[in-house]
Amino acid sequence: QIKDSATLTRDVLEQHFSDLKGTLKKLLDERLMSLLQEVDVIEQESIKPLDECQKLIEHGVSTADDLLREGESAVDGDVGQQNEKLCNFTKKALHIQLDSLPEVPSLVDVPCLSAQLDDCLLTILKNQIFRHGTVASRPPVQLEEFVEKPGGILVRWCKVDEDFIAQDYRLQYRKSTASPFEDVYVGSETEFMVLHIDPNVDYQFRVCARGDGRQEWSPWSVPQIGRTTLVPHEWTTGLEGYSLSSRRNIALRNDSQSCGVLYSKAPTYFCGQTLTFRQVLFGIETVGQPDRRDSLGVCVEQRNGDDSLQRDKAVCISTNGAVFVNGKEMTNQLPAVTSGSTVTFDMEVVQLGPCSNEGGNFKLRVTISSNNREVVFDWVLDQCCGSLYFGCSFSYPGWKVLVF
């Protein structure tokens, strides 16, 4: 790891400074070209009136010189032609203003170009360059834990540099080393549930952070492999009253008049494998008209013909917040399920008595949470349950439930 990361760091530094040199040269060339063009413009604009003045003076001198030679010729001619030449010379001289000259600007008014080059730029660049870039022996943030979820992975990370004050975190993942990393989360939390994960497939994760008030991101953490062995939760297909997404993890109560309980495709919520189990999350994205029989929950078995989960061998929460255990309403109540609500089920196995194929006392300690409130109760069953179904029932269209 040390040699590989050192080689990669050298490559990154060399490429960065090579790009930087190319960019700086391009910027300096562009600035030089701009200044040279400015010199050309000032030169052309300043010399134009002087050139015109010079042309006028040269024209006047040339005209006077021609007139002088014409006068000498008239004087040197014979008497017969003298009078005529002198007459023409006099007329021509009267029409030429030999005493008129254009105004010539004074020397102080004539532009004198020069270049002002401040040497402090080199000092500024030197100071900035010597402070540019750092080499870190380890990133300030590292991946801490991967928690398997049905069709997903809960990724947790933590700071390893106590002096680093993080403003945001950035989590990336990729399915194989041949694929590029892609952003999956940017925010202030230190954990994120990555969904749409294929079971029994390795995914590579990395995380970085942005310091408080900074724009640049920190170095990436050491990439780590995460995977889930749990198949994704899916709603069962074929129930007329519900439409499913392509991944079958979202159920929408449609306009059909048919009603009933929509169950999971299989009993994919396992209880009894560890001390603590968390039931799938139900995120309500769109809320329709409520009914007192509307419910979200888990059950021991699928049972056709029921219009609600408010029955025996099931625990559920209704959309008005009432909690039902085996069809009986509890005195404790949770907040009503509204748009954006999330309901969670946590279950811990507690065995009361002998459990056999013929049945026995079997208890699950259930915690149902909704909108930062929770109820805890014991659910006693007459048989051991290795896994549970989840389900929902809605009477009116518009309810949309995401399970994961």
Domain ranges in the chain are 1-131, 141-228, 242-403
User: Among all chains, which residue has been given the structure tokens 């349950």?
Assistant: 385
pLDDT at 401: 85
Task: Output the six-digit token pair for 72.
Answer: 């000498």
The amino acid that residue 284 corresponds to is I
Q: In this predicted model, what pLDDT tens digit does every residue of 45-85 receive, in sequence order?
A: 888 877 877 888 887 788 778 777 777 777 776 666 667 77
Q: Please enumerate in sequence order all residues whose Cβ is within 8 A of that of 105, keeping only pairs 6 or more positions apart, or say none.
A: 49, 50
pLDDT of residue 109: 74
Distances (CA, A) of 340 to 153, 249, 283, 343: 22, 17, 7, 10
Nearest to 348 by CA among 367, 325, 361, 375: 367
Contact 396, 303 (CB under 8 A): no
Output the pLDDT for position 100.
Answer: 63
Residues of the chain with pLDDT under 50: 272-281, 356-359
DSSP string, 58-117: HHHHHHHHHHHHHHHHHHHS-HHHHHHHHHHHHHHHHHS-TT--PPPPPGGGS-------
SS3 content of the chain, % helix, strand, coil (to 5): 25, 30, 40
Q: Identify the pLDDT of residue 3.
A: 87
CA 73 – CA 71 distance, rounded (Å): 5
Amino acid 328: pLDDT: 95
In whole angstroms, give the CA distance from residue 171 to residue 19.
27
φ and ψ of 64, to 5 deg: -65, -40
- Determine the pLDDT at residue 149: 84
In CATH terms, 242-403 corresponds, of 2.40.110.10, 2.40.420.20, 2.60.120.920, 3.40.50.300, to 2.60.120.920
Return the CATH number of 141-228, one of 3.20.20.70, 2.60.40.10, 3.30.540.10, 3.40.50.300. 2.60.40.10
Q: What is the pLDDT of residue 281?
A: 41
